[in-house]
Amino acid sequence: MSGYLPNKDRYTLMKYNRCGRSGLKLPAVSLGLWQNFGYKSSFDNAEKMVHTAFDLGITHFDIANNYGDPYNGSAEENFGRILNNGLKKYRDEIIVSTKAGYEMWEGPYGGRGGSRKYLTASLDQSLKRLDLDYVDIFYHHINDPHTPVEETALALDNAVKQGKTLYVGISNYSREQTEEILEIFRELKTPFIVNQPSYSMLNRRVEQDGLDGLALEEGFGLAVFSPLYQGLLTDRYLNGIPADSRIGKGNTWIADELNEQMLEKLKRLNAIAESRGQKLSQMALSWVLNNKAVATVLIGASCPEQIIENVQAANAPDFTEAEIAEIEKVLQNKHP
């Protein structure tokens, strides 16, 4: 049994936002367990990262059934071990979210989908791996055009009725897809509270299709991932490509975007961040949180130090109108 004792001042270090109009508050910064928590990762490092996050007031840990490549589910297993190693004592202070929707196991029922069979079986498997009676939020990970939306909505609603999740969410759903399932959730009175899209300074689809506007109108929150655009919105690439970076290792799809024009943009953004007393990564997180529809921003990490650094974005000074205008100029490639 771990002798872990959390920092007693943790709740003074974090800002908490209501998730839409629900009663649930989420930390402004949450920890995503997509990378560095799976089978090939160091368990000690993973545990240190979770403890560091909790010590800083991060109460929300976000996983999915297929995290932990190459062994789907290994991130959930490792988080279950961390919980059972002393953290479970604080279960009522922790929000655990998991998802199902992508390819998970062999055969016709474990492939990418949104059927009642797949979602029900997947949540049962997740709860076993996590060694929990329930999760706080269960998401459908990606819209499935081959399954009636009513079936997916009813499966999520049923998970609540069975006591296996407290709230439900959807991820990677466009505004139009969200409106469709939202109508059914409303009829069922399902506690749907959150959509999880990707969103960053370099990926503004959430604004372009009006998903953030819908969230504010209808009262659900956004929990956004990839706020640093796979690490591009950090100072790692300002002076070349480090061998240990995602681009250096070749495990990201954005390497082709790091051209001269992008580098110039990143350098100009970095200058604005420095003028605010922030690192580029911290400003990128603060910028995402500046959107009123965003309840929480999900960060990834490979070491505890990254979490310590990025959490500071939650308590950064508000942007001035001049700073927002300057950032917009850079993002639109307008030169002074």
Run of H or E including 285: helix 280-289
Digit-coded pLDDT (tens) for 269-299: 999 999 999 999 999 999 999 999 999 999 9
CB 199 within 8 A of CB 171: no
Run of H or E including 127: helix 116-130
Q: How many CB atoms lie within 10 A of CB 153?
A: 25
Give CA angle at 304 (303, 309), nearest 5°. Answer: 105
Reported CATH class of domain 10-331? alpha beta
136 three-class SS: strand
* Number of Cα atoms under 13 Å in the Cβ half of residue 189: 1
And the tokens for 319? 């942007």
Digit-coded pLDDT (tens) for 62-108: 999 999 988 999 999 999 999 999 999 999 999 999 999 999 999 99
Asked whether the whole model's pTM tops 0.85, one would answer yes
Q: Where are the beta strands (DSSP E) in 172-321?
A: 192-196, 221-224, 294-299
Q: What letter would DSSP give residue 97?
A: E
Closest CA to 287 of 196, 202, 195, 193: 202
β-pairing, 25-27 with 95-100?
unpaired
Residue whose token pair is 């974090």: 14
Q: Where are the domains of the chain?
A: 10-331
Digit-coded pLDDT (tens) for 218-263: 999 999 999 999 889 998 888 866 656 555 556 665 667 778 888 8
